[in-house]
């Protein structure tokens, strides 16, 4: 009994794990993606709902911008985001000579079904029809860059032209195609809309851009995944005005090219458009840290200053890092919860300012992408692209 009374009298904070004890406070766990106050003001999402969104609804989301984009999408489509009608999908895009990853929003099959039901004219569908089963074998080859011989800076004499090495094989049996017929009420009649035949080999998602074998989902659910794609195609055919060209996440890998290796230099301009006053890229928040970094970057590209000019530059940079952002039209102060520049970002920017070789910047980029936070890396990425552009102009 004495031990029990001691346990009951023990302060609550002592019963918590060490990482949850902080000056008697209980709620000290930090969210995986920092909560933004403007999310509450704009969408009515409190911190508890934010935790549900980032941990249960979108556990693979990497940035707050991606989650906010999903919230905006669901509001505009009058969808309940807690039912997970959409998915956050990372996609690679090219800016200048550099590939960056952005988060995009893709609907699931549930959104297409919901939209069709809301018309009041959806009259069900027939069971899926499948084609004959086929078996295919994929040979997985070792990536050429595993040995480092295909590094762009390697001398031609060191590059090998050996035949690709097969390190594994994957075999999968799947239905050749799938087709679904959807029904819609037109007038007083139930009209059939047979969807197109959706072929497995034209639709499946690959394991990676270096591996043409199907990913785990398509390998384990060969019929289920194909059936969802066939249903989506039939729904678009029966409800063209309501669904338009809205493709689902299951169709995404084949509807858009998300493999950088498949693109050519002709797809995107070789260099970014030059401008005298660099501005942040669309989709990247103009935070105090970004403005301070931009001011610091500009200071390294001008002629040597006098002591009075240097003092003015320092004052402007400090002001840029402390003043809250203003809306250009209303002049009101925008809500900004982004912290000031971190020590890691400041160190990376300092090294960038001393760099004179664009190749060194390319070499540092993958390491900094792992070491910096997504927001800090976005700031460094913008500054590095501007530095590479400046160095390229100087060498001409």
Does 224 share its domain with 150? yes
Residue 247: per-residue pLDDT = 83
More confident residue, 149 or 119: 119
- Please indicate, yes or no, whether residues 130 and 161 belong to a single structural domain of this protein: yes
CA distance 195 to 237: 7
Q: Looking at the structure, do residues 69 and 135 belong to the same domain, yes or no?
A: no
User: Is residue 253, in this structure, part of any structural domain at all?
Assistant: no
Does residue 368 surpass a pLDDT of 50? yes
- pLDDT exceeds 90 at position 343: no
Residues 144 and 167 in one domain: yes
Task: Please give the pLDDT value at position 178.
Answer: 96
Q: Which of 105-119, 180-194, 335-349, 375-389 has the least mean pLDDT?
A: 335-349
* Residue 260, domain member (yes or no): no
Per-residue pLDDT, 164: 64
43 and 14 in a single domain? The answer is: no
Residues 124 and 65 placed together within one structural domain of the fold: no
How many domains does the chain divide into?
4
| Residue at which a domain ends, from 203, 226, 241 | 241
> Is 321 inside a domain boundary?
yes
Is pLDDT of 216 > 50? yes
Establish if 224 belongs to a structural domain: yes
Of 207, 241, 275, which residue is a domain's last? 241
The pLDDT value recorded for residue 210 is 75
Q: Nearest to residue 391, comparing CAs of 368, 349, 361?
A: 361
pLDDT > 90 in the chain, percent: 33
Q: Output the CA angle 394-385-61, nearest 5 degrees.
A: 175
Q: Are residues 212 and 320 in the same domain?
A: no
- Looking at the fold, whether 4 and 45 belong to one and the same domain comes out as no
Looking at the predicted structure, is the pLDDT value of residue 183 above 90? yes
Q: How big, in percent rounded to 5, are the helix, strand and coil portions of the chain?
A: 45, 20, 35
Domain that holds residue 365: 288-395
Average pLDDT over residues 195-206: 92
Task: Name the residue with higher pLDDT: 343 or 308.
Answer: 343
Would 89 be classed as within a structural domain? Answer: no
Residues 223 and 297 both lie in one domain: no
**Of the given ranges (28-37, 90-99, 103-112, 306-315), which has the lowest mean pLDDT?**
306-315
Position with higher pLDDT, 211 vs 340: 211
Q: Which pLDDT score, from 0 to 100, does residue 52 have? A: 93
What's the pTM value of the predicted model, to 2 decimals? 0.53
Largest CA distance in the chain: 85
pLDDT at 245: 80
- pLDDT category of residue 354 using cuts at 50, 70 and 90: confident
Kindly state whether residue 274 falls inside one of the protein's structural domains: no
Q: How many C-beta atoms surround the C-beta of residue 171 within 10 A?
A: 10
- Residue 133: its pLDDT value, please? 95
Same domain, 3 and 56: no
Residue 52 lies in a domain: yes
Cα torsion 344, 346, 350, 356 to 10°: value is: 70
Asked whether residue 68 falls in the same domain as residue 143, the answer is no
125 with 206, same domain?
A: yes
Contact criterion met (CB below 8 Å) for 87 and 105: yes
User: Does residue 282 sit within a domain?
Assistant: no
């Amino acid at each position: 009994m004495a031990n029990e009374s001691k346990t009951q009298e023990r302060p609550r904070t002592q019963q918590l794990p060490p990482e949850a004890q902080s000056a008697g406070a209980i709620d000290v766990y930090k969210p995986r993606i920092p909560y933004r106050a403007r999310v509450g003001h704009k969408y009515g999402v409190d911190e508890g709902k934010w935790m549900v969104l980032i941990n249960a609804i979108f556990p693979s989301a990497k940035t707050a911008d991606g989650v906010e984009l999903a919230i905006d999408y669901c509001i505009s489509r009058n969808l309940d985001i807690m039912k997970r009608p959409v998915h956050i999908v990372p996609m690679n895009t090219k800016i200048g000579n550099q590939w960056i990853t952005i988060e995009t929003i893709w609907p699931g099959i549930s959104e297409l079904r919901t939209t069709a039901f809301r018309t009041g004219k959806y009259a069900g569908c027939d069971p899926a029809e499948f084609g004959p089963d086929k078996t295919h074998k994929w040979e997985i080859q070792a990536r050429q860059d595993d040995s480092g011989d295909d590094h762009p800076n390697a001398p031609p004499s060191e590059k090998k032209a050996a035949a690709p090495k097969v390190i594994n094989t994957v075999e999968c049996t799947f239905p050749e195609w799938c087709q679904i017929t959807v029904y819609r009420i037109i007038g007083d009649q139930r009209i059939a809309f047979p969807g197109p035949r959706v072929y497995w080999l034209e639709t499946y998602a690959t394991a990676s851009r270096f591996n043409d074998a199907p990913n785990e989902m398509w390998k384990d659910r060969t019929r289920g995944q194909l059936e969802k794609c066939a249903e989506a195609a039939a729904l678009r055919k029966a409800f063209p005005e309501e669904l338009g060209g809205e493709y689902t996440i299951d169709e995404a890998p084949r509807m858009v090219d998300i493999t950088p290796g498949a693109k050519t230099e002709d797809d995107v301009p070789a260099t970014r458009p030059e401008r005298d006053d660099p501005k942040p890229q669309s989709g990247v928040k103009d935070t105090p840290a970004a403005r301070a970094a931009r001011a610091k970057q500009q200071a390294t590209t001008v002629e040597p200053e006098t002591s009075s000019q240097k003092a003015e530059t320092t004052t402007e940079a400090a002001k840029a890092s402390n003043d809250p952002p203003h809306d250009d039209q209303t002049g009101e102060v925008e809500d900004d919860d982004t912290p000031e520049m971190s020590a890691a970002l400041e160190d990376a920017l300092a090294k960038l300012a001393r760099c004179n070789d664009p190749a060194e910047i390319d070499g540092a980029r993958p390491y900094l992408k792992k070491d910096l936070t997504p927001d800090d890396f976005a700031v460094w990425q913008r500054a590095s692209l501007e530095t590479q552009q400046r160095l390229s102009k100087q060498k001409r």
